[in-house]
Structure 1
Amino acid sequence: MNWGHFLMYIASLFTLPSSSDLQFDSELTVEAGGETLFASQANGSIRSYISVYSPSALFVGKKDPAIASQALTNDMMGRHRQALEQWVAAEKQQYDQEVAGKDILEQRQWLIDNPRSLFAGEILGNLASHTPRRDTLGWHQENVSLFPGYLAFLSEEDALWFVGPDGQRVIDLVDAAKGGTSQSILAAQVETQGPYKVFSDEEIRRLRKSGLSSDLIAAMIRSNGQQSAPVSSVASTAPVSPQDNVAALLIPDNSGEYMNPWTSDGVLAEWVDKAINAKMGSAIGSAAGAYAAQKALDNVPFVGGFLGSKVGKKVGHSAAISASGGMEYIRETSDQSFRNLDDMARYLKAVHANNGNFQDAVKAADAIYPGLMQSLASSQ
């Protein structure tokens, strides 16, 4: 409350306008791998006026509240953008000075010493593409243990070895089999502890070539449907229909990792509607500060430029989650889910492909779960 204005307001018998300030705080953050790399704070206020006996408040300041909101938004956006550009320039200068001319092992050591670097993705990409001719798999294993984000930079062919739960990834099974562990025992373990994936014919050939038995590979494939299809104690002689196979991909609650864009009633989940209506962005409203933070990213030219597509995807993914209400809201407004993207793609393609809103829903879901569109394209 502006007390000076308020006293004049009382003294003039409510003819002169009284004013008060509405405060806004805005924060912009850049995150990667669950860590905050950069944060910018900005604040501002919008002054409002009120009078009782005369329209004097209309002649002070801006008449339209939207104009005041836009001015505040632009101001905070400009401050975020300036701070962000300064940080990016400083990060790039350090990166260029300290990494230029270094060989791949020196780059890796630099990343170990500077794990929060904005340009970590560039080095991880270099590590993934400059593999030694000998012991390529060992190189990947070592880098995965050092940098969990390294997996995102592997080719589809190399990523195959890291499919599966921790401790029982494909490469762990290969090492265990080579170490003398019975593959029958491994098969019994993985069938209840997956999921893995439905391997292509070429992938199966590669797994066989690495020393894994057909029984073990079959158990890995069967693990995809174990949790969603309860095992009956009574054997059934009725054939399983394609519809039953598709239904088995779905978890009838929100306990899975990937939420179904549709609810059990066959309508779009609230988080999907929210994302579609927002068009994966924010709108000016009472949360002017949040809007400023988001728009600052939209206007910074480095995203998609020298920062690289990987960081751009990280930023876009975070913005999409925010526009959909946050991961907690996404889970709360979903009543069906899936264990992996392949199951999700197969189910959506079989059940919802003919829906008029299929494309919009899939685009919204792909922004939250990157790779869904690719899985849809390859699903049978």
Structure 2
Amino acid sequence: MELDVAGGYASPNDRTYPTQLANDEIQRWFAGNGDDLTVHIRNENTRDSGWLSMVPYFLTLGILPSWLNTEGETVMEVKAGDEVLFANREDVAYKSALSMLLPTAYLVGSPGKQQYEIMAHDQLNRHKHALQAFITSQQAGYETAVSDGTVEAYRQYLQANPDSFFRMETLRRLSELAPEKQALAFHRDNIAIDNTYIVYLPDEYDIWFLGPANMKVYDVLRLSSAEDDVLLASRIRAANQPYKVFSSDEIALLKEGGLSSALIAAMIDASANTAPSSPVPDGVSSAAVDSETTEASAAVAQPGAADIAGQCAKRYAALKACDQVPSFGANVCRSQVKKKYSHMACELIQ
């Protein structure tokens, strides 16, 4: 904030007083603290008049006051990084006076801090109302566009407004419309429209982000459409990089997504080979994945580190997706990701 008094006879403390007021006031504009947005306020185009009043001031030894009329503009900008999302200008004018011997300055001006407080709050209120009007107008158009509340309405809005102020809100609402069963296809279609949607995937889909770079579960699914499953399974085992000893429910979810038993078994084998401290049930192999008995046994070994790894992997993928979001949406996206995936280990790793 830079709301210092541009001219006049104020003391240094009085000149910075409006800045202190602005900092305190603007903190109350937002629902919580964060670093996604910054608010900048400054005075511009300030000019003083009334310097000739110094002549009678000196001639009367300070009995007659000297005064200055200051006019200019106060400018507020709301930024995401270096990008200005909203800007507003308001006219500002005030008078300051000086009298050495008698309090005749009060006949021309007003007591310093009291007047500066009035001035600062007046400017801030005008800026706040302008910002509220801007957000309200944006929201009105958004609510009209998605008034049907259908999946198709939200998807069309995302495609037509890729840099919308309400992009993340649209994705959140869309995620709430997921069917209770067989929802993977629904989520995959949404990700195809906007990668940032992974922020709102249910936690059980974290497993799709497990695995080494370029061979995560979702990479394996993509590769399986063009590569023989037996060869791909051999590559997974040869890489000897961990995924997870999947539970019965997770195996069912992977199969629902299109992964074959051979590929799931290869991931389990690779995880077992790289996690000697976590005992893996005997018989977990390619042939055993199809049996319900072995699936239940595999569910017994659920290392907590693997669960955390799934969260961190999904967090990393989500943050990378946020980088592709234009304008303000990227900052909102990162905020949502960090809020949802706040595990200390993820913060340290990434």
Return the TM-score normalized by structure 2. Answer: 0.49
Return the TM-score normalized by structure 1. Answer: 0.45
